[in-house]
Structure 1
Amino acid sequence: MVQSLQLAHRLEDLNVLLIGAGKIASTRFPKLLPTGCKLTVVAREIDETFYESFVSGQLEGTNEGWSSAKQEIYRIVRDEFKTEYLELENYWHIILVCISDIGRSESIYSECILKYGESQLINVADVPKFCNFYFGSNLNLADDKLQILVSSNGASPRFTALVRNEIAKTFDDDLELSIAMTKLKELRSEIRRLTNASREKTDIQFRMEWVRRCTDIYGLRYCHLLDVESLLELFSEMYSNRSLTFPPKDEMLTKYLSVN
């Protein structure tokens, strides 16, 4: 079985076209806005939830005050899709077709591929053969610092949602995860600083392996207790000796944790 490559796709300030604004599109919409993408919506009928993220009192047009930080819709076109609307921007990073008419969806897909080529990222809702990427079931944890995607490659969106919900039950202490992610990010950033962000292959490999081993030592149970300052001192010592041999685990669990 050929598998999909799951990626965390950055969309900030990139043009995204959403065709349709009804029930189908409303499942995509909440996933798009937090990315800070420059979202254009084309649809004759617009679900009222879309207007909560658009210019107050304005039914269509361009949001002149748009910025990625605001997480708002950039443009709404209240009309059936026309090929000319592809010209609203110089490019579309991704195109989402979310209408119930499968025949029309296929037609739009063909128009987009004809214009932009097979490399154009496009997703036609509920028609896997017209998708070169899929929307999975997303789970945000740790104050959105940790994201998990569960995908069935279009086979069963509902089942992936059930799997996601089971994972959510496992990680019920969101605060500890959030603290862990913050400390691990700080640790990695400071390690790069200590090595002057060296791009030497040996330095990159050392940093990556050191962080990997350190994270494995503490695991999910202890990462939120990391004493970053003490660990940076340990890293400096090990880096100067080019050693990846950590102290015994019992020492790592006492000397380098901050237990308040």
Structure 2
Amino acid sequence: MNNNTRVVLSLPVATRLCGKKVLLVGSGEVAISRLEKLIPTGCQIYLVTGDIEDDLDDITCTSSGNKRFETILKKWFVPPSKLGNAKITATGTSNDDIYTYPNWHTNCGKIYQIIKRNFKFQDLTMFMNSTSNKNTSSINKSEFSALVERTNDINLLKSYLGDNWQVILVCIDDIKLSELIYYKAKLLLGPQIMINVADVPPLCDFYFGSNFTLGEVPTVDTDAIRISDIDINSNNSSDDITLDNISCVPCIQILISSNGLSPRFTSLLKNDIISKYGSSSNIHIQESCVKLGELRRRIRDINNTNSDNSNGGKELISYRMQWIKYVTDQFGVKYCHLMDVDNLVKLYKKMLIDDSMSLEFPANMVQAFGNLSP
């Protein structure tokens, strides 16, 4: 490679989708692979499943009852045989079969809504006239901009936030229709809307790469959910979702990317990492994450109760970060799961308050503050 060649890299980021609306168009193998990645995030998935007609002027049709769709129903919704019994088609029209999962919540491990028909362009704007967006409907753009600029009232600003798609995923074979969905979504919803059109790199604002988790990820026991237990008439809504309801999963998520150069090599590298650090190894990822998360939370609470310290808040934060870095490094990847959190919290409090923010640590940290077997 020429030494003067500058490689443009992508930015690997972790996106929080919990409770956010995601539009997924398609029901093939690629769409199923997207569902496998989306379900654990707790996002509110609207799945448009129908096969796409060749005629773009008439893309409204009834759905096809293929086996892939039945697989989706059984794994991430309800068994196909229970659809009628559950009576969850009340929102459907004569042309649409729309199924909404009763009492959906971010931890249920289910698709929120299945729209069993072909994609319609009005799907892009289905929330533009929703109740939560009507606060701004009577204000012109310049007036609204002025309102936003002059107010510092967080609650007022939050009241103007409306529903809309956070992410749009297109997984269909029709390239022309995929392009139309991409550009119409950008024009209608704004250029900031994140869209991924499968197998068309120029129409991907992001891509999934080779991503995987180390450590156990809690799953919902879907077999224990009986259709007869579902309250069809419940008024429960996902509108009650708040950031306070979002919890972290005790695992490590890893994304590997070759920036499109060799997906196969990234897959081999992923498998190599899993073999060294996965469940078959002696590295206790989940327990380590739980211990470290608890330790960080508790020493942060100690900082908060001492925020009027004469050294100032910035120094407290800096001290806490240096302290936790040293402790984590001392235990290392292999022994973090053995941390005695209670005693480490006592040590932090002593070093912070009694020893005036000392960074003189005891010797043999793992032996002194680890739950080692005799």
TM-score of the two chains, using structure 1 as the length reference: 0.91
Q: How does 1:82-161 map to 2 (within 5 A)?
A: 82-89=120-127, 90-144=163-217, 145-161=251-267
Return the alpha-carbon distance in structure 2 between the equivalents of residues 114 and 155 of structure 1.
Answer: 31
TM-fit CA distance, 1:4: 2.1
**3-state SS of the aligned residue for 1:72?**
coil
Show structure 2 runs of 5+ residues with no match: 1-6, 52-65, 84-96, 128-162, 218-250
Which of 1 and 2 has higher RCO (CA within 8 Å, sep 6+)? 2
Alignment pair present for 1:62 and 2:85? no
**3-state SS of the aligned residue for 2:317?**
helix
TM-fit CA distance, 1:88: 2.7
2:322 equivalent in structure 1: 209
Return the alpha-carbon distance in structure 1 between the equivalents of residues 119 and 265 of structure 2.
Answer: 32
1:243 equivalent in structure 2: 358
Label 1:21 to 1:154 Cα distance change in 2 as closer, same or farther (>3 A): farther
Return the alpha-carbon distance in structure 1 between the equivalents of residues 316 and 165 of structure 2.
Answer: 38
Query: Percent sequence identity over matched residues?
Result: 41
Return the alpha-carbon distance in structure 1 between the equivalents of residues 320 and 24 of structure 2.
Answer: 41
Q: Please tell me the root mean square deviation across aligned C-alpha atoms, in Å.
A: 2.0
**3-state SS of the aligned residue for 1:217?**
helix
Label 1:175 to 1:218 Cα distance change in 2 as closer, same or farther (>3 A): closer
Alignment pair present for 1:49 and 2:71? yes
TM-score of the two chains, using structure 2 as the length reference: 0.65
Return the alpha-carbon distance in structure 2 between the equivalents of residues 27 and 157 of structure 1.
Answer: 16
Label 1:174 to 1:134 Cα distance change in 2 as closer, same or farther (>3 A): farther
Q: How does 1:216-235 map to 2 (within 5 A)?
A: 216-235=329-348
1:258 equivalent in structure 2: 371
Contact 1:143 1:174 in 2 (8 A): no
**3-state SS of the aligned residue for 2:284?**
helix
2:270 equivalent in structure 1: 164
Return the alpha-carbon distance in structure 2 between the equivalents of residues 61 and 87 of structure 1.
Answer: 19
Return the alpha-carbon distance in structure 2 between the equivalents of residues 61 and 206 of structure 1.
Answer: 53
Alignment pair present for 1:10 and 2:125? no
Return the alpha-carbon distance in structure 1 between the equivalents of residues 216 and 43 of structure 2.
Answer: 20
TM-fit CA distance, 1:192: 1.2
Contact 1:136 1:149 in 2 (8 A): yes
1:218-244 C-alpha deviation (Å, 9 max, x unpaired):
111211111112211221122122122
TM-fit CA distance, 1:175: 6.6
**3-state SS of the aligned residue for 1:105?**
helix
2:141 equivalent in structure 1: none
Label 1:13 to 1:174 Cα distance change in 2 as closer, same or farther (>3 A): farther
TM-fit CA distance, 1:159: 3.1
Contact 1:139 1:147 in 2 (8 A): yes
Structure with max Cα Rg? 2
Which range moves more in the overlay, 2-11 or 192-201? 192-201
